[in-house]
Amino acid sequence: MIWTPEDYEAFTSQISPSSWDDPATRLRLRSWLRGTFEVEIDKSGRMPIPQPLRQIASLVREVSVQGALERIELWDPTLWDRYAGTSIEEAGGSQ
């Protein structure tokens, strides 16, 4: 997920200090926070994707950019096509 610095700050400011008291919540927070990176957009309007994130998302050469409300997601095109073809029931949800 791509965040503006302001949105990231707003989101993280909502994390209560007491959240760190619960071991399961602390593990989820650490897992999520270690995957965050700040990047700069270059003069050509390009944004580098840090290697750890490219590995997690299986990004090798091509990238599928998907918008979902106020979010932007970067997907491997093959994985996106597979995911986009998944029904709500297959994903474990209800209609």
Give the residue-averaged pLDDT of 34-44. Answer: 90
pLDDT bin (cut points 50, 70, 90) of residue 93 is: low
> Are 95 and 88 contacting, i.e. CB atoms less than 8 angstroms apart?
yes
Q: Where are the alpha helices (DSSP H) in 5-75?
A: 5-12, 23-33, 51-56
pLDDT, position 77: 93
